Amino acid sequence: MKVPLTWDREPLFEKLGNMKFSEMESMANEIRNYIVEIVSSGNGHLAPNLGTVELTLALYKVFPPDKNTVIWDTGHQSYTHKILTGRARSMGTIRKFGGISGYPSIHESEYDKFGVGHAATSIAAALGIEKAHSTKDMNGEVIAIIGDGAMTSGLAFEALNQVKPLSSKIKIVLNDNGMSISPSVGQLSNVILNRLRTAKTYRILDSKLRDFLRKNDLDWVSEKVKSSLKKLFLFDNFFEDFGIKYIGPIDGHDVKMLVRAFESLKEIEGPVVVHVLTQKGKGLSYAEKNPTKFHSVSMIDSKSGISLEIKKGVYSYSEIFGKVLSIIANEDNRIVGITAAMEDGTGLKYFHAKHPDKFFDLGITEELCTTFAAGAAAQGLKPVIAIYSTFLQRAFDQVIHDVALQDLDVIFAIDRAGLVGEDGPTHHGVFDIAYMNLIPNMKLVAPSSISELSSMMKSVIGRIKGPLAIRYPKSSEFMDIMDVLSAPPLDNPFSWEKILDGKDGTILAVGSMVKIAVEASKKLESMGIHVGVYNCRSVKPLDMKTLNVIAMSPRIWTLEEGTVMGGFGSSVLLKAPTLRSKTEVIGIEDSFVEHGTRNELLEFAGLSAQKVTERIISNLKAEVREG
């Protein structure tokens, strides 16, 4: 994976100051081709990064990142930023174990001013950074680049609401491609931004009004009077109602126009929004036609976009979740499906296709989704919220206050639970057992296979009273799909299942760790050590009847793909304190796990079958020495 010869020094942004527009356009093509090569041969975010190439080049020509603070919202649009700031030759390692992150990280580069991964943090962070700069007499602009999808989040609105009261001068670049991962939803994108996208007359009349005031020596007119005059002749502008100057819309792929727009920011003292229109997947026909599919990819043919990893008969937990939910809703008209801008990722596209009137995508608003579900449940509906584990963290208060406190019938489908691989620490779902475990009235279950997910859903959705969460990993399995979809409900989703007997000890495994436990048990058996395995599908409530039987085992290991702090193992020790002397808790220790393949990370975290085997042998040897 060779870096273009013209990139003869790093950081590359230092070359931009003297570049002609034609040279910048050539560099844009080189960067775009390089990103396609990198992502297609490994994995990463393709379409969003192809859409921000010219934007980044123009921005860094006018506002070099060594003299200004630039914050990239969400971060999956920042590959050009990484290439320009000294990491061009490291891009082949992106998202690989030990390589650079797929997102900006303050631990990785001096030019990554704020770590991101979750949407809508940029404006809030920019306000805080700007305030810190003012106390230190630091110069340079503070610039936040936020996507229109992220603008639907409450945090973005909260930050916009404080720009004027804080006397902020931040510059906001709104990267508007009409998308988050799926197409953006809601009034902001569908009406307000769409009106601005098409309003050339707004820019013309706004400019003429300012010229009129200046030519007639009316610059002294107060901002309130100016605002009133504009509202008299022009339509309301969403951003200017917040006290933020608006420029745009600008063609996000016209380098010359972008540079001129950004240069105009230097003449404006106060806060400004530059509205930039970009095309997700720009320059790559198949990504332009289907930006949702090519938002994030793994191993594709760079020319055609065809996946090189397609395996017939392989389905993900997310796909089966969506299909099974559709089947359940066929029989129960109380079921509604809710997601936070993740229709495709969570598998709810299957539900949406079959039950469009029962599907609700509320944008990047996890808190809203949760309280919306609570309201629906309070009136007798049976809402199912599908949200990635890492994103559900943002709705923690609503889960407690609006759902659990009222003991409402809300199902949380916690997708991407556990280690999710190359997305890294911002996206790992390792805390959900702990944060759901501590909430009164909450029930938490974890299937050990995709088939068990199907059975578990049929046994709890619409049948169990009160809030309940189902956690499942980012994983796929080979299966007969008809067998899985027709799998019967579990007799008791809160009972544990014995998988293997073992006279030397017992592993209590949760969800994805059941297969690991079985594999470890077989490795131990080949060494003459017999360790039993239980599928502890119910994390809360614990199956105390079965646990009391297991208590007779000479040695116990709890095994979970989640943090050991407050997790399943902690619950076992809390509920059965007599087991403390002979129980070892195995899970993710009190630290953040970096990025890599899921298998690499399981090995790193001590959760692979080999590592679990070694841990058990070590424990047994220590026990012999102590004896």
Q: Which residues are catalytic?
A: 280, 366, 394
For 408-457, give the secondary structure using H, E and C. Answer: CCCEEEEECCECCCCCCCCCCECCHHHHHHCCCCCEEECCCCHHHHHHHH
The DSSP-derived string for 128-194 is HHHHHHHHTT--S-EEEEEETTGGGSHHHHHHHHHHTTTT---EEEEEE-SBSSSBP-SHIIIIIIH
Secondary structure element (H or E) that encloses residue 223, with its range: helix 223-233
Structure tokens at 178: 């009409």
- Cα distance between residue 52 and residue 43, in whole Å: 18
- Cα distance between residue 183 and residue 293, in whole Å: 11
Pick from 83, 28, 34, 85: nearest CA to 55:
28
81-to-35, 114, 394 alpha-carbon distances in Å: 12, 13, 27
346's CB contacts (< 8 A; 6+ apart) are: 318, 321, 322, 339, 386, 387, 388, 413, 415
The alpha carbon dihedral of 44, 47, 53, 56 has a sign of negative
Backbone region of residue 120 per phi and psi (left: phi > 0; alpha: psi in -120 to 50; beta: other values): left
Q: Are 179 and 280 in contact (CB under 8 A)?
A: yes
AA letter at 482: M
**Cα–chain center distance at 431:** 14
Structure tokens at 491: 């007799």
Q: Are 94 and 37 in contact (CB under 8 A)?
A: no
- Cα distance between residue 601 and residue 597, in whole Å: 6
Residue 112: exposure state from Cβ atoms within 10 A (0-12, 13-18, ≥19): buried
199 by DSSP, 3-state: which? coil
For 251-302, give the secondary structure using H, E and C. Answer: ECCCHHHHHHHHHHHCCCCCCEEEEEECCCCCCCHHHHHCCCCCCEEECECC
- Cα distance between residue 164 and residue 620, in whole Å: 64
Find the helix packing angle between 122-135 and 154-163, rounded to 10°.
30
